[in-house]
Amino acid sequence: MLLLTGALVATTLTAGGASTGPEDLRRFFKDVHSFTARFNQVVLDESLNMLQESSGTLWIQRPNRFRWNYDVPFEQQIVGDGKKIWVYDVELQQVTVRQLTGGLGNTPAILLAGRGTLDDDFTVKALGSQGKLQWLQLIPKVNDGGFEDIRVGFEKGKIRMLEMIDGFGQTTRIALRDAAENVKINPKKFEFEPPPGVDVVQQRAVPRR
């Protein structure tokens, strides 16, 4: 099942010139309160062979509210209402729901929509530039059963790429476009009511270790 998550930020300047990747990342967590973008997502195996490809639209409202609507190739909705995470697979007519516990769990949406205590939760390392992107690495300090290595690519202060590697060596790569930050989003976007007749499965949250 596709789970995720996307984000971005305006260009900032330091006294010495253009901002750095770590500064852009911290600005995102500190100053960006709402965000929307289109995304393309691929999942790769250990040998970087493509396993899945999808696309859709995301909305984020801090803290802990988000919606990721996948429209290609299969329709799916992932909604965080601040207390629970709802995953609705339209084709299977099934909803999975679990408590939002604050850990990364198995979706990068929680990372991007959280309040963001970066230095408490992650070891942040600048990886330098590759092409037009400045790359950062975030290694979670707590093993919560989700992604073990997160990499964020910025271009001119804006997040363009998000890469996450899980414990099985699979990589989830998300490219963002048409992004807008600190925009007004209808609160109903972050509400979810299971449609009549669908199966609802309660899922236990992955414990933090």
Lowest mean pLDDT among 7-16, 28-37, 57-66, 107-116: 7-16
Average pLDDT of the residues in 40-62: 93
Is residue 182 classed as helix, strand or coil in its secondary structure? Answer: coil
- Residue 20 half-sphere exposure, CB side, CA atoms within 13 Å? 10
**Distance between CA atoms of 20 and 156, rounded to whole angstroms?**
9
Every domain of the chain and the residues it spans: 13-202
CATH number of the domain located at residue range(s) 13-202 in this protein: 2.50.20.10
Strand-pairing partners, residue 37, are: 58
Percent of the chain surpassing pLDDT 70: 82
Is residue 34 classed as helix, strand or coil in its secondary structure? Answer: strand
Give CA separation, 68 vs 29, 37, 46, 134, 202, in Å: 19, 10, 25, 25, 20
pLDDT score for 115: 64
Does the pTM of the predicted model rise above 0.85? no
Q: Are strands 94-99 and 199-202 parallel, antiparallel or unpaired?
A: parallel
Is residue 83 classed as helix, strand or coil in its secondary structure? Answer: coil
Could you tell me where the DSSP H helices lie in the chain? 21-31, 108-113, 118-121
Rounded to the nearest 5°, which phi and psi values hold at 21? -55, -50
* Contact yes or no for 122/140 (Cβ under 8 A): yes
pLDDT score for 39: 95
Cis peptide before 108 (omega within 30 of 0): no
pLDDT score for 92: 92
How many Å separate Cα 139 from the centre of its chain? Answer: 15
pLDDT score for 7: 32
How many Å separate Cα 166 from the centre of its chain? Answer: 14
Rounded to the nearest 5°, which phi and psi values hold at 55? -155, 165
